[in-house]
A = this chain, B = another copy of it.
Amino acid sequence: MSADRIIQVERDILGKNNKLADNNRKRFRADDVLAFNLVSSPGAGKTSLLVRAVSDLKDSFPIGVIEGDQQTSNDAERIRATGAPAIQVNTGKGCHLDAAMVGEAYERLPWLNGGVLFIENVGNLVCPAAFDLGEACKIVVFSTTEGEDKPLKYPDMFAVSALMLINKIDLAPVLDFDLARTIEYARRVNPKIEVLTVSARTGEGLAAFYSWIRKQAAKMRTASADAVPG
């Protein structure tokens, strides 16, 4: 088959996804829900971070989670153990969540009015970068064990993310991990990316992450208020 035909098919798929992502975004806005799309390599610690964040924040505002994995419902079960609702999506051969999957899963969550939706994508630093799910922004979770060069080697993902959470910071002393260099590389592909260091294991840095979430919520509500004259 021709390269032109492949490119056309890719455009069709992305075009269809973008329409559904816009629908999701409108739905989230109507429900006053702040949605984050968490992306990372496999094993960077997205689920462990979410388990802690959901436990710490669920008494402050409604929280729902959509979990994406090729197989298993382990992650949704880990979230549900905190008492928060979680829907598992299995992508099978698929390497990323798409807007249709998220739209369907969102229907099955309770009403999150005034709250936060965390979407945990399939662990993959390539494909999820291209698919808008209707989120307010992407958060890339990067762990200290992965090596400083990853933002340069997988630039698309760092270019489309608003925040880089550098996880497993408690392991930095036993690794040869260079924090300053990692941040420098990430800012080379995305000068505006915000950076926080955290440890899902020890809890270090999580308070700053929660402040960041509250700041995003305030921004969203200000923008909505501006859009609707009183």
Interface residues of A (CB under 8 A from B): 1, 5-6, 9, 12-13, 16, 41-43, 69-72, 74, 93-95, 122-127, 130, 143, 145-147, 149-150, 152-156, 168, 171, 174-175
Which residue of A5, A149, A171 has the most chain B CB atoms within 10 A of its CB atom? A149
Residues of B within 8 A of A5 (CB): 9
Separation of A154 and B124 alpha carbons in the complex (Å): 11
In the complex formed, the residue of B with least CB distance to A94 is: B126
Q: State in angstroms the CA–CA spacing of A123 and B5 once bound together.
A: 27
Question: Given A124-B124, A124-B125, A145-B143: A70 and B154 within 8 A (CB)?
Answer: yes
Partner of A126, one of B70, B153, B174, B175: B70
Q: How far is the CA of A31 from the CA of B125 in the complex (A)?
A: 35
Say whether B70 contacts A155, CB under 8 Å. yes
A126 touches B125 (CB 8 A): no
**12 A-B pairs, CB-CB below 8 angstroms?**
A1-B12, A41-B43, A69-B153, A70-B153, A72-B152, A74-B153, A95-B95, A95-B126, A122-B126, A123-B153, A127-B127, A145-B171
Contacts of A41 in B (CB 8 A): 41-43, 123
Contact B70 A156 (CB under 8 A): yes
User: B71 and A146: CB pair below 8 A?
Assistant: no
Q: In the complex, are the beta carbons of A155 and B71 less than 8 A apart?
A: yes
Q: A147 to B123: give the CA distance in the assembly, Å.
A: 12
Q: Measured between alpha carbons, how far is A32 from B124 in the docked complex, in Å?
A: 35
Given A71-B155, A143-B145, A174-B174, is A95 in contact with B13 using a C-beta cutoff of 8 Å? Answer: no
